[in-house]
Structure 1
């Protein structure tokens, strides 16, 4: 049973992943809150199953999972939690409601999806959950404070469930890319200093390839791009104060 259900599927990383897995012969399910873009992608992929969804609506999430998996023999090989939002800016200039929205979608939405998918994953040999993490979940990034907080939560949830769900035969891991050229990033009105210093060296297709690698050679955390792999593994052996010093330098105006 080679099927994948993708949140945030209508654009960016989600759409690139849907195209790649469809090309490889997987059955693809698409979920997104953008009805028009979702319908266009579904048509491009030969009428792929799709549903408009707000991942923060737990009841709607359960209904969407039930509908998709009903056509898949009650099984789900891979859940890709790709839905997410970003707001770059100094913390105090962003309204609390916007900070809350970032956490609700990036964290609560992911929890809703993963919780609702459990029974279908458990019924599927080799089932996996792949969460959209970030390099911002390794050390807090100035001017991405609430986004970083959400990705730290994703990292913690991934680590816990990777151990907890092993007894059910369900693999759990996340992807950790640095900045990726997607509409979510490119539509930002503010550019953080760290973004100017590190640059944007990844496209959505690069991360889709990492999803494919993760589906076949799972890791708990999969750093994406050579640049960040070096930073990530260096961070595992250097003291915390050195990581802070590096982030402070990268974030200088």
Structure 2
């Protein structure tokens, strides 16, 4: 088995995944990228160097494809995988009655099933590099308190939080760390997408209208490094996430009032 540590990151073609890839590569890790966006992964590899990375195009919704992707990456990395970052995810906004069945199922499949499938496929590899190996899931501030106008997205991120807590208990006997990141709004291309099929309005505009801060991807990458090497189960990233977590714990009534007053469903 190779001595150089290795991390496999889904959603590695852009945004948070790309930032995590650059951060870990810059610290001597061999980086694996998984994404349906081959062009995006090429850009990431150009930024970190093809000699320190491997890219594999696949869909996280496909359980068998997970086995193929991790098997190929393990071969490329010299037989080891120390961290699997379940980062791939998509946004979905708009009031629930406006979300189509297709939109709901796609969000659930990528954001929730994709994380579960990734965990299943990762376990044999993380056992081999334990103790100290890690499953790192990307949750969200929307997994701290439900976001009005994003009920499906909030459900998936609460689910990711639950998966992290459950597997932290299940996998403790193997010496595998299970962690998650809970970022607020991060400055990635996702903010420039419309929240659903029925809207032409970018998410970024709504965030700015609400006066919420947009955190640079580097902050998430640094948080990912700290999460992998630290003991925190949930790592909050950005002022919005930290304020929300504080309020949800100590001032839940106020958070509820603010949620109602700020809610104009994304896409309306």
Q: TM-score range by the shorter chain?
A: over 0.9
1:53 is the counterpart of 2:58: yes
Q: 1:227 to 1:147 in 2, by over 3 A?
A: closer
State the alpha-carbon separation in 2 of the partners of residues 227 and 141 from structure 1: 12
1:176 is the counterpart of 2:185: no
SS in structure 1 of the partner of residue 226 of structure 2: helix
Show the counterpart of 1:89.
94
8 A contact 1:19–1:45 mirrored in 2:
yes
Unaligned residue ranges in structure 1 (runs of 5+): none
Show the counterpart of 2:134.
128
Measured after TM superposition, the shift of residue 73 of structure 1 is: 4.5
1:139 is the counterpart of 2:145: yes
1:74-223 equivalences under 5 Å are: 74-125=79-130, 126-188=132-194, 189-190=200-201, 195=207, 196-223=209-236
TM-score, scaled relative to structure 2: 0.88
CA shift digits 1:79-109 (9 cap, x unpaired):
1111000122222222111111001000011
Show the counterpart of 1:244.
256
State the alpha-carbon separation in 1 of the partners of residues 68 and 262 from structure 2: 44
Q: 1:225 to 1:40 in 2, by over 3 A?
A: closer
CA shift digits 1:206-242 (9 cap, x unpaired):
2111111112213111111234213313322344x44
* Range 90-99 or range 108-117, more displaced: 90-99
State the alpha-carbon separation in 1 of the partners of residues 39 and 83 from structure 2: 25
Runs of 4+ off more than 4 Å: 191-194
State the alpha-carbon separation in 1 of the partners of residues 240 and 66 from structure 2: 36
Unaligned residue ranges in structure 2 (runs of 5+): 195-199
Q: Please provide the CA RMSD for this pair.
A: 1.9
SS in structure 1 of the partner of residue 171 of structure 2: helix
Which residue, out of 54, 70, 75, partners 1:70? 75
